[in-house]
Each structure stands twice: as structure tokens, then as C-alpha cells.
A and B are shown apart, each in its own frame.
Chain A
Amino acid sequence: MSKPFKPRRPGPALTALTAAALALPAYQRAEAASRDEQAGVSVRASHYTEDALDRSQTAGDVTERFDITVGQAKGRLPVGQRFELSLDAAYETLSGASPWFIEPDENGEPVQVMSGATIDDARTDLLATVSRYGDRDTVSASVGTSREDDYLSYNLGLKWSRDTASRQTTWSLGASASDDVITPTDSDRFPLRPEEESKQSYSLVGSLSRILGKLTTWQTALSLRYLTGFLSDPYKQAFVDGTILADSRPDSRWQAALSTRLRRRVTWAQASLHADYRYFVDEWEVNSHTVKLAWHQGIGSRWELAPSLRYYSQSQAFFYRPFYLQERDDGLYSSDYRLSPYGALTYALSAHYQGEGWSLVGAVQRYDSEASLAIDSVGLANPGLVDFTLVSFGVEWRL
């Protein structure tokens, strides 16, 4: 019978034939940065409820926070030989109360004061993108808007990506800008709220994606963003030496994020491992680390189950305090939990079913944040840290 196969070096004849074969279109088509040749529509409904606050750390009766429902839709249409149009829409309704300010109790412990009335708001996002797929280059341009009762934003984006000749590496460069106007509700009743403010943001993202072998891909990206204008939260206030002042932040903010992502196919398990890391730093002295691991387990040809774990830790903005015992020289105040030092864990599980020309996805996610989860030790924990449970369900059709 035949001898067992021993792998060996390819001979010169094989090298020459392989080089000639590679020029044939049947082998190149698989390589081109190709668009999806089928039109598609996907929709998704998600609901999440923020946990009520701890009554012992809350002043007053209201401990309930936001209840949020989000509907999303995405449509994609190939046009002609090279173009693709896509449209993203999202509609979000939220209702509930949000943290207002923090005061110290008689022991000097922070106590959260909630905004009294229930807030109802809705947000509508629209984003239209046109992309052109060349042999090695893909260029896309997008225009979008986001609006709420008290907020209107327009944004523009451009992105260019290019494959190297060997198609092992893809470079991409993107730029975007947005212009936002904020008109806080009830500014006549709350003298600390401004009537109308605006902010602008500009971002630049460069990324490098590489194929590291038959089973591994790797991506590194650097994004820079500059925000200018009204960057405070008009609905938040700060306790400063017995008086309540408006949340007041610097009017500019540089941000930088360095991220890297790894995808590894585990053939024996019919699974893929995702590992993501991001380092973020900004001009307000916030820096953060985000690590996300996900395991996409295929089950048969149609099912996929993906558990994931995300860890996030941030340091505080330089002007943040839960409350202020004396005035600051720079006049900057914020007790927003989002600028406080803390860490958070997200546990998620999603299931995906692939049908003929359609697919279903369902997911649950639990987000828990704690000051004690932060990398650095935290003196006074912000009592307004948020925890929530999110469930979502989606359908996709390929037309």
C-alpha cells in the first residue's frame, strides 16, 4: 500500500506552476476587497433597563433610572459594478429619571440626588453611505443626522481603504466631523440650564489590518478626536461648598484611542476567538483600558453561540469630584459618574441562526460597574454608577 505522506518542500516546477496559476481570474476573485453582491436588510429591537439605585445612597424616593427601547434598521444595495448604497436608521425611546447631583450626608458620604420628574425623550438617527469598490481601493462617504427633542446633530464622514498588492495588508484612513446644537428643555424653569449651546467634533482614524496566516488576522488602529464648544451636561449639577452650581467642563477636549483586534480561527473546535484591546487617553486626564474576549462557537452548519466578556476601567477627569467642599480656581465642576473613576464588567451571550437567505440573532448582556473594579483604587465611589441588562433580537434578510 502507499507510504504515509510526508510534507516536503515544493519543487521548482510547483513554484512556477503556482505563480502562473495565481494570475488567473478564478483565483483572484476570491481575493478582491469585494462588496456583498446581494442586497440585504436587517432589523433589530433591543430593550434595556438601568438598575434602580441603592436607596441608602439616594436622597428622596426616586431610585428608578432609565428604561430604553431601541429599534435599528440597516439596508444595503449594490448598484452597478462598483457602488454600494447603505442606509442606517435607529429610533430610541427613553423614559425615567437620571442622576442630578451628589451631596454629602452628615458623615461626608456621597448621596445621589435624582432629577425629580420622569423624562421622556426620543432619538432618531439616520446615516446614508455610498461606497465605491475598486480593485484595491474602497472609498466611502457618509452623511448623517441625529435628533432628539433638545438636540440636533449633523455629521459627515469619509473613509478610504487600500489593499497592498499581495492583499495581505489593508490600510485605511477615515475622517469625520459633526456639528451639534443643544437646546435644553425647561431652561426657563431651571436658571442653571443654558438656552442654546453648540459643539463641534472632528475625528481622524487610521488603521492597519494584516493577515497573519491561514487562521489569524490582526488590526491596529489609532483614532484622534477633537471636541470643542459646550461639552458640559446641561441636566447635571454639582454640589460646591453648600451651593448647587451648573455642571461646567472645559470647552475643548482632545482624545486619542489606540486599539488592536485579533481574530483567530480554531479549526478543531469549529470556533473563532476574538480578542480586542483599546487604550484611551484624553486632555481631561481620563485614561481607560478596554479588553474584550469573545468565543464564536459554531454548532452544526446553522447555529452559532457567542459568549463574551468585556472589562473596562477608567480613571477620573482632573476636575471631577463627587462633591466639592470648596470652590475651584478654574471654575470647573462635574459630579457626573461618567467622569468618575470606576471599572465595569460586561457578560454577554448571543445566538445566531443561519437560514436560507435569512438569519436570526438574539442576545443578552449584563453590564455591572463598580468603583472597586477600577485598576486604581478609588477613594469615594460615585453613587450614580450604572448597571443594566440588555436583551435584543434581530432578523436579517438577503434579497
Chain B
Amino acid sequence: MIQRLILLVLLLALTACSTTPLKPWERGHLAERSMAWEPDPLAAQLDEHVYFSKEASSGGAGTGGGGCGCN
């Protein structure tokens, strides 16, 4: 069930492609700080490290580099 849901979400992401291109002056809202993928990069790095050291999962869009001794 959950696997099917994930597939659906992925397909949605790929088929949402037919949007008309935005003009530069229409991008004002997207440029807001709070619209960034990570408005606060240091907090995101710390969260990622803390969760990595306490949960079995890792990885995702914003991850890369780093590590720690905890297995």
C-alpha cells in the first residue's frame, strides 16, 4: 500500500512538468528566505547529524559529506 503511494507521488512529480515558464518578474515570492529548501543551513546540518546518530535512516536531497563515529 505504502509502496504504491510512493510510486504515485513520484509519478505526480514527473508529470507536473507541463507548467508555463515563469517570467523573471513573477519569481519574487519564490525568492523569499522562507521559500528556500533550507532557510537555515546550520540548523539543517545539525538536525541531519543528530538524526543520523539516533536513527537507522539517512540520506535525502540535502545530504552529503560528513559522518561520525557512531555506527
Say which one of A109-117, A130-138, A205-213, A322-330 lies at the interface with B. A205-213
Which residue of chain B has its CB nearest to the CB of A340? B56
In the bound complex, residues from chain B placing their C-beta under 8 Å from that of A361 are 40, 43
- Report if A263-B60 is in contact (Cβ < 8 Å); known contacts: A176-B65, A214-B22: no
Taking the closest CB of chain B, its distance from the CB of A306, in whole angstroms, is 8
- Report if A260-B9 is in contact (Cβ < 8 Å); known contacts: A174-B64, A178-B67, A182-B69: yes
A153 touching B13 by the CB < 8 A rule? no
Which residue of chain A has its CB nearest to the CB of B59? A257
Interface size class of B (residues with CB under 8 A): 35 or more
A314 touching B30 by the CB < 8 A rule? no
Within 8 A of A (CB), among B17-71: 17, 19, 21-27, 29-37, 39-43, 45-46, 49-51, 54-61, 63-71
Taking the closest CB of chain B, its distance from the CB of A359, in whole angstroms, is 9
Taking the closest CB of chain B, its distance from the CB of A374, in whole angstroms, is 12
A151 touching B69 by the CB < 8 A rule? yes
Pick the contact of A18: B23, B30, B39, B63 (CB < 8 A). Answer: B23
A127 touching B66 by the CB < 8 A rule? yes
Check if A64 is an interface residue, CB within 8 A of chain B. no
- Report if A290-B57 is in contact (Cβ < 8 Å); known contacts: A30-B25, A168-B21, A220-B13: yes
Interface size class of A (residues with CB under 8 A): 35 or more
Which residue of chain A has its CB nearest to the CB of B13? A220
B60 touching A257 by the CB < 8 A rule? yes
**How many A-B Cβ pairs are below 8 Å?**
215
B65 touching A148 by the CB < 8 A rule? no
Say which one of A54-62, A237-245, A264-272 lies at the interface with B. A264-272
Interface string of A297-310 (1 = CB under 8 A from B): 01000001010000
Taking the closest CB of chain B, its distance from the CB of A137, in whole angstroms, is 18
Check if A232 is an interface residue, CB within 8 A of chain B. yes
- Report if A211-B61 is in contact (Cβ < 8 Å); known contacts: A201-B67, A265-B29, A350-B40: no
Check if A193 is an interface residue, CB within 8 A of chain B. no
Check if A203 is an interface residue, CB within 8 A of chain B. yes
Complex CA gap A23/B56 in Å reads 50
Complex CA gap A90/B65 in Å reads 13
A146 touching B35 by the CB < 8 A rule? no
- Report if A392-B59 is in contact (Cβ < 8 Å); known contacts: A125-B66, A211-B30, A265-B30: no
A212 touching B19 by the CB < 8 A rule? yes
Taking the closest CB of chain B, its distance from the CB of A252, in whole angstroms, is 13
Complex CA gap A193/B5 in Å reads 44
B61 touching A221 by the CB < 8 A rule? yes
Residues of B within 8 A of A (CB): 2, 6, 9-10, 13-14, 16-17, 19, 21-27, 29-37, 39-43, 45-46, 49-51, 54-61, 63-71
